[in-house]
């Protein structure tokens, strides 16, 4: 049975099992970088929270031998568990004043997210979009983010400019800066027998993210942070987008051939990073003299 056929069969089974006043619909959710995930939404009249449960893992179970009816029952169980764990902070979205303390910004690539950005407030920065998100952080229950859309602004009666200005300042103030050598990051992760890799990274590369190590790539937008790094290194540096969460910083004195950096970025993105967490396939350069970051262009590796 194909995946589209599976989704339809599961939906029919759910509708036959649910006796409460709940509407069940197939949904298609666009994630970052054009990633599409399929799921089932459960909507109950009078409830603010309508959970979506993604179907990809269930299709894997189906192909391993589980029946449609069993999996539909599991989906209902997951729905009941989700509705019993709705984070209280979700209700803060009822107004801008209550949501404001939990609104931050993150960085995504414009070219890979043009469709998503059509109904999203954002600020351009190089080939990136700085977009606002509402942070959901319920201890021991749930941590994540809700990307804010134009309809949120319309409902709140607030302008994109005002919200973005606040969110950018608030992100800089609250999220902090985490800047360490790669060897510090790798300690405890790489075993002694992997010494060659460890030595290659030691003191030659650095990692830049925020204190939470979550959506920290947006720190590249703040000129004071990049300038501080250049004064610490006492030279220009390259910036490799490791994901939407962090950058790898490479001092210019450590680079013999720029093209190698493009291959490193491609390898990281293709092998190590979830597709929806890829930030860019480009390489970037920060100049101490101009105090600006710019995009490098590869002669061998395809750029956006």
Q: List pLDDT tens digits, range 36-55.
A: 888 888 877 766 556 788 88
- Among residues 126, 110, 103, the alpha carbon closest in space to that of 223 is found at 126
Looking at the structure, tell me whether residues 231 and 272 fall in a common domain.
Answer: yes
Is beta strand 284-287 parallel, antiparallel or unpaired with respect to 292-295?
Answer: antiparallel
Looking at the structure, tell me whether residues 232 and 246 fall in a common domain.
Answer: yes
Q: Give the per-residue pLDDT at 84.
A: 59
What secondary structure letter does DSSP report for 209? E
Q: Any idea which residue has 């959710």 for tokens?
A: 29
Q: Any idea which residue has 């069993």 for tokens?
A: 70
The residue among 142, 174, 206 that closes a domain is 174
Please give the backbone phi and psi of residue 45, each rounded to the nearest 5 degrees, phi first. Answer: -60, 130
Q: Give the per-residue pLDDT at 17.
A: 85
What secondary structure letter does DSSP report for 218? G
For 254-275, the pLDDT digits (tens) are 998 899 999 999 999 998 888 8
Looking at the structure, tell me whether residues 142 and 187 fall in a common domain.
Answer: no
**Residue 196 predicted with pLDDT over 60:** no
Within a domain: 64: yes
What is the rounded distance in angstroms from the CA atom of residue 21 to the CA atom of residue 237? 59
Looking at the structure, tell me whether residues 206 and 142 fall in a common domain.
Answer: no
What secondary structure letter does DSSP report for 95? S
What is the rounded distance in angstroms from the CA atom of residue 15 to the CA atom of residue 24? 7
Looking at the structure, tell me whether residues 199 and 246 fall in a common domain.
Answer: yes
Within a domain: 304: no
The residue among 86, 114, 137 that closes a domain is 86
Looking at the structure, tell me whether residues 211 and 281 fall in a common domain.
Answer: yes
pTM above 0.85, yes or no: no
Within a domain: 301: no
Within a domain: 34: yes
Q: Give the per-residue pLDDT at 56.
A: 85
- Among residues 154, 147, 144, 145, the alpha carbon closest in space to that of 117 is found at 147
The residue among 174, 191, 215 that closes a domain is 174
Domain span holding position 75: 3-86
- The mean predicted confidence, pLDDT, of the chain is 85
Looking at the structure, tell me whether residues 242 and 185 fall in a common domain.
Answer: yes
Q: Give the per-residue pLDDT at 139.
A: 53
**Residue 90 predicted with pLDDT over 90:** no
Looking at the structure, tell me whether residues 213 and 254 fall in a common domain.
Answer: yes
What is the rounded distance in angstroms from the CA atom of residue 22 to the CA atom of residue 82? 14
Q: Any idea which residue has 């947006």 for tokens?
A: 218
**Residue 141 predicted with pLDDT over 50:** no
Looking at the structure, tell me whether residues 55 and 150 fall in a common domain.
Answer: no
The residue-averaged pLDDT of 133-143 equals 66
Is beta strand 103-109 parallel, antiparallel or unpaired with respect to 52-54?
Answer: unpaired
Looking at the structure, tell me whether residues 161 and 186 fall in a common domain.
Answer: no
Within a domain: 125: yes
Q: Any idea which residue has 């350069």 for tokens?
A: 285
Least confident of 28-42, 150-164, 186-200, 282-296: 186-200
Q: Give the count of domains, the chain.
A: 3
Within a domain: 302: no
The residue-averaged pLDDT of 21-40 equals 81
Within a domain: 300: no
Looking at the structure, tell me whether residues 188 and 284 fall in a common domain.
Answer: yes
Is beta strand 128-138 parallel, antiparallel or unpaired with respect to 142-147?
Answer: antiparallel
């Amino acid at each position: 049975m194909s995946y589209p056929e599976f989704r339809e069969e599961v939906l029919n089974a759910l509708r036959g099992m649910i006796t409460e006043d709940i509407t069940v619909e197939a949904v298609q959710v666009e994630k970052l970088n054009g990633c599409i995930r399929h799921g089932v939404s459960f909507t109950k009249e009078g409830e603010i929270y309508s959970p979506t449960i993604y179907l990809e893992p269930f299709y894997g179970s189906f192909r391993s031998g589980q029946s449609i009816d069993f999996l539909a029952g599991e989906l209902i169980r997951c729905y009941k568990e989700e509705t019993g764990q709705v984070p209280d902070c979700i209700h803060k979205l009822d107004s801008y004043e209550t949501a404001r303390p939990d609104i931050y910004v993150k960085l995504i690539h414009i070219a890979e997210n043009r469709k998503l950005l059509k109904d999203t407030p954002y600020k351009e920065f190089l080939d990136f979009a700085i977009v606002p998100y509402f942070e959901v952080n319920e201890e021991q229950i749930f941590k994540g983010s809700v990307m804010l859309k134009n309809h949120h602004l319309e409902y709140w009666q607030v302008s994109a400019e005002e919200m973005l200005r606040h969110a950018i300042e608030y992100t800089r103030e609250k999220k902090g800066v985490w800047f360490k050598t790669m060897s510090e990051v790798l300690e405890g992760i790489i075993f002694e027998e992997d010494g060659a890799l460890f030595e290659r990274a030691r003191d030659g590369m650095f990692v830049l993210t925020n204190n939470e190590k979550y959506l920290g790539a947006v720190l590249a937008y703040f000129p004071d942070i990049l300038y501080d790094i250049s004064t610490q290194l006492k030279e220009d540096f390259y910036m490799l987008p490791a994901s939407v969460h962090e950058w790898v910083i490479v001092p210019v004195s450590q680079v013999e051939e720029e093209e190698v950096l493009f291959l490193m970025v491609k390898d990281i993105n293709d092998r190590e990073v979830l597709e929806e967490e890829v930030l860019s396939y480009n390489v970037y350069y920060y100049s101490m003299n101009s105090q600006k970051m710019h995009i490098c262009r590869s002669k061998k590796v395809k750029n956006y």
